[in-house]
Structure formats: C-alpha cells, structure tokens
Structure 1
C-alpha cells in the first residue's frame, strides 16, 4: 500500500484524530440518547430497527473489512516463502479466534451462573412455596440473561477495539491525497460501527448511573481508533508497513479480529436477536423491516469497504 509518506502532514493527522473521535462518539451516542431522550427516539421501533442495522454493520465489518484485509495482507508477495506451504492462514486464525471466543464465553458464563447461585440468600418459608419458587426462578433467569448479555457485549467491544486500533494505525501512516479519501471513509465507518456498539450497550441494564455508564462505553469505543492513530504517528518513522514482519503481525491481528467479530455478529447479534421472544412478538411488518435493516447495514459497510 502506498503510504504517501512524502506528503505526510502532521496537522491533518492531528485533525483526523479528533474527526474520527467525534464521528465514532456521535454514532455510539445516537442509540444511547434515543433511549433516554423521548423526542429523539421516535418510539421504540426506531431504536429496534437501528439495533438490527448495527448487527449488519458488525457482520460486514468482520467479513468484508477484516477478513478481506487479512487475506490480502498474509497473501502479499513480500511474504512468499515465509508462511510455509500453507495458504489458508487467515481462515485458520479466524477459526481459532471463533473457537477461543466460544470457549471463553462458555467458561465465563458458567462462572457467572455459579457465582450468582452461591450468593443467593436462602428463601423464607411461605404459605405458597410454589409461587415463591417460581418468582425466584424467574428473577434468577433474568439476572443470568442480563449478565450473559453484558459479557457478550464486552466481547463484541473487544473485537471492535482491536479492529479500530488497526485501522487507526493504517490511517496514521497514510499521507497525500489518499489520506483524505481514507479519512472520509473511516469516519463514516466509525459512525456506523459506533451505532452498532451504542445499540448493544443501550440494551444493558445498569443498576446505578445507567446513562453515565452507557456514555462511558461510547467514549471508550470512540477512543480506540484515535489510540491506533496515536500509535501509528509515534512509530511512523521506524514502521515499515511493507516489511515481512509488519505484514505478518498485521495479518495475524486482522485475522483474529475478523474471527472475534464473526462470532459476535452471528452468535451474539443475529442468532440471539432474531431468536428472542421479543422479536417473535413483533408484527410481520416490523419483522420484515428488521431483516431489511440488517441487510442494509451489511450493504452500507460493504460499500465503504471499497475505500476503508
């Protein structure tokens, strides 16, 4: 990739850091604000449709942006003869990330369930023990589901954060006219991705200071790409993006990030949301709109993939 190092402009780069930060934060805050500000929400349907649009965004980010980039990076001619006779490293690494995510989520979910059951207070005797047990069981399921959703959300944020740092570094080492095109594409990319994160975070039920904690999650997301930009600016003089070692490192990170986002998008977003009792209760028109919204999210990010 041509970096345009001879036309690298520090002022444009610093300005780009704040532009990316602002667009990412705006995208993440949109669904969060719509939950807390009545006139902005336009009803729960707008929020619901936005949530499914975000699922499509994450899915396309995984396949089009990260996995496609990993194949290109690890298939670079500069790595010929350095990766052995095996040509499917991106797919293998992505699959390993998916399996690791599955195992991690299983182990952490069991620990959460066991920790919750071990700290439950003993129920007092009642004249209607069956009723008490039924209510208590329902509450336990709700708490367990909420913690599981929170865990899957944080794992999603992990994959997006890794991906965001990578594209931030790429932007920071780019100069010339290519920089402006890439900055515009990544800004739109961050806005849509922020919507996906914000839509997921806004569904979490925090006991204390829910709005502040949701804003904190949005801010953390907004800072990940600028963090990558800061790293890229710092190492620009010594970083050789076309060197074999750099290509291998970037290719591995892109492959792992793709696997994490694939798992999160398919298992924790598509399957979980479309199989939920809430979705089943929707009318036919709203269900259709949710499907179309998901496909539009995929389409939007796939188009942006031409530039970023």
Structure 2
C-alpha cells in the first residue's frame, strides 16, 4: 500500500488575494536616475524662477515692462490651473480612495472641497487681519504734522455784518487737497486696485501665501517621483515643465511685491527651487517602507493638496487676477493690449492644465 501524501487542495479553500492597499514596490527602480532627477528638477526650477528676475534687470524699456506684465498674467493662469488640476482633483481622488475608512471613501464624498474651503477662509482671515495691522503701522508711521495756527481777524461788527473771518497759513482754494494728501501713500509703498489700496507689505504677504501653497504640493510631487518606477521617465519630463512654469509664475509675482531687500526675494526663489528636490530625496530614502495607500499617507497628502488648492485659488483670483484687471491702467489701455494680457493668462492656464495629463 502506497504511503504517498495526499496533496490535493480542498475545494472550499480560500483563494489568496493580494492586498490592493499594500505597499507597491514592484517595477524597475533606477536609483542613479532617481538621484540625477534631484538635480534635473532643481535646475529647471531655478531656471524658471530666474528668467523673469534676470529679464527685468537687463530689460528696463517699456517693452521689458510689458513682457513682465504678460509673464505675471501667464503665471496667474499657471497658478489657477495648478490649484484645480494639479491639487484639488488629486486631493478629491485621494480622499475618496477605497483604502481609506468608509467615513471618507463612502459616507462623504466632499472632504476635498471642505478642506479647500478651509484653505480659502484661512488665507482670507490671515490676509484680512495682517492687512489691517500693516495699514495701522503705515498710518502711525506717517502721522500728519499739527495743523497750522488759525489767525482770527477782528473787525468792527455792525448789525447784520458778517461774522469774524478765520484765516489759515494754507489757502483753502486747493479744494481740501491737504486733507487728501495726509492719507496718501507714495507710489513705491502701494497701488490702488479697484478702490483697494495694496501696500508693498501686503503684496509681500501675498507672495508668502503663494509660496506656502506651492511648497506643500512640491514636496508631495517630489515624494511621488522619488518612488516612481515604470512611469518614472514620463513623470520626470512632465514635472520639469511643471516646475519651470510654476517657477515663472512665482517669480513674476515676487517681482511685483517690491521687496526692498533683494536677499528676501532670492531666499524665496531658493526655497522654491529646493522643495521638490527635497521631496524626491525623501521619496528615495523611504521607498522600501513607503506605502502610498496607507491611511495616514492618503489623509496627509489629500488634506495638504486640498488646503493648498484653496490657498492658491484665493491668492490667484483675489490678489493677482482681480486687482490687475480692475486697475484703471488696464481700462485705459488699447484693445490689442487688453487682449494680449487676457491671452497670456489663458495660455498659462491651458499649458499647465495640459501638463496635468501626465503629472
């Protein structure tokens, strides 16, 4: 009688199914190329941010000024597309991922919109109260001198004669211009946009908010590239264009902020240049243990992307697009120049939206 072991698998044995939410480490991972990507992305980011700065320094004619205006509006379109195409849409997909608890993935489908609104309101509150503080400091720093002494000319007053005449060392024929001058701000301190005075320090706050929104997203896409395998080369090319045009956008708006210290503007350029490379390095270092489908990873990336989308959307529309097109200089410009400015913004938005197909 044979002693052979029966190796037949029972019919009702459960089939082994791979966990779709487990860490995905499969694919061809080219470590040297990933390391090279750190410097490639760094170079394209730096090139994008430096082009407007160098151009403004060496081109000071009216043509150069017009080119900077077009770059700023091109950048505004890039920022709007970045907020909706590159941040909000991925955030919505992430926060409805099946690997999240049912409260996120099934019960409520609008968490991305909620966090985007939170980013909008947080940006609005910060700008509102910071702007009030800036204006109060500006007013206290430019307090008007005491009014000149009033001289009363006494005359003999007969019945029905006019009352005593008050004279001042400054003529009243200027139509109250003195009172108006007390509240004026010099051109380099602020500009009026649609009836709203934006001081230089308020413009600088706008740039800081933009940098905050862009930086968080840059780290996330850097980590994604650092972990990429088969899709690495396509993603690298797309991110090169992404960082270049985003750098153009940020740099053009930095120049509008009129930083008195060039070191501040350069520091912001350097910070932007380094954020995505830092994310790539982090992605390479954590590749073996990184799980893009883990609950904490999905929540962190989804919430950060959604909040950043709200920040950029508010900043782009309220602080860049509306003030520019509400300004009297745009209204007084020729139809051709108005159309050129609008086209620049639409082209920036279109190019960045197209890049979203790959990145």
2:59 paired with 1:38:
yes
Of residues 170, 174, 184 in structure 1, which corresponds to 2:237? 184
Contact 2:91 2:303 in 1 (8 A): yes
The change in CA–CA distance for 1:135 and 1:33 in structure 2 (over 3 A counts) is farther
Alignment of 1:19-58 (within 5 A): 19-38=40-59, 42-58=63-79
The answer to whether 1:108 aligns with 2:130 is yes
Q: Deviations over 1:164-199 (max 9, x none)?
A: 1111111111123x1111010001000000010010
Look up the match of 1:272. 323
> What whole-Å deviation, never above 9, does each CA across 1:136-191 have from its counterpart, x for those lacking one?
42226835621111111111111111111111111111123x11110100010000
- Give yes or no for the alignment of 1:90 onto 2:112: yes
Do residues 65 (structure 1) and 116 (structure 2) align? no
Partners of 1:274 and 1:122 in 2: CA distance: 33
Q: Tell me the distance in 2 between the aligned counterparts of 1:158 and 1:215.
A: 16
**CA distance 1:128–1:203, shift in 2 (3 Å):** farther
- 2:356 is aligned to 305
Q: CA RMSD in A?
A: 2.4
Match in the other structure for 1:167: 221
Equivalent residue for 1:196, pick from 249, 260, 270: 249
1:66–1:258 Cα contact (<8 Å) kept: yes
User: Which of 298, 307, 311 is 1:256 aligned to?
Assistant: 307
- 2:107 is paired with a residue whose SS is coil
Conserved in 1, the CA contact under 8 Å of 2:45 and 2:247?
yes
Residue 240 (1) aligns with residue 291 (2)? yes
Q: Is the 8 A contact 2:44 2:240 kept in 1?
A: yes
Pair 1:152-2:206 in alignment: yes
Distance 1:57 1:306 in 2: 15
Q: Determine which structure has greater relative contact order: mean sequence separation of CA pairs < 8 Å that are 6+ residues apart, divided by chain length.
A: 1
TM-score (norm: length of structure 1): 0.91
More helix by share: 1
Cα contact 1:32–1:215 (8 A) shared by 2: no
The answer to whether the 8 A contact 1:168-1:225 is kept is yes
In the alignment, which residue of structure 2 is the partner of 1:218? 269
Following superposition, the deviation at residue 44 of structure 1 comes to 1.7
Pick closer, same or farther for the CA change 1:35–1:135 going to 2, 3 Å. farther
Gaps of at least 5 residues in structure 1 are none
Q: Using a 3 Å threshold, how does the CA distance of structure 1 residues 41 and 300 change in structure 2: closer, same or farther?
A: farther
Contact 1:3 1:175 in 2 (8 A): no
Corresponding residue number in structure 2 for 1:7: 28
Report the Cα offset of residue 128 of structure 1: 4.0
Q: Displacement, 1:9?
A: 2.1
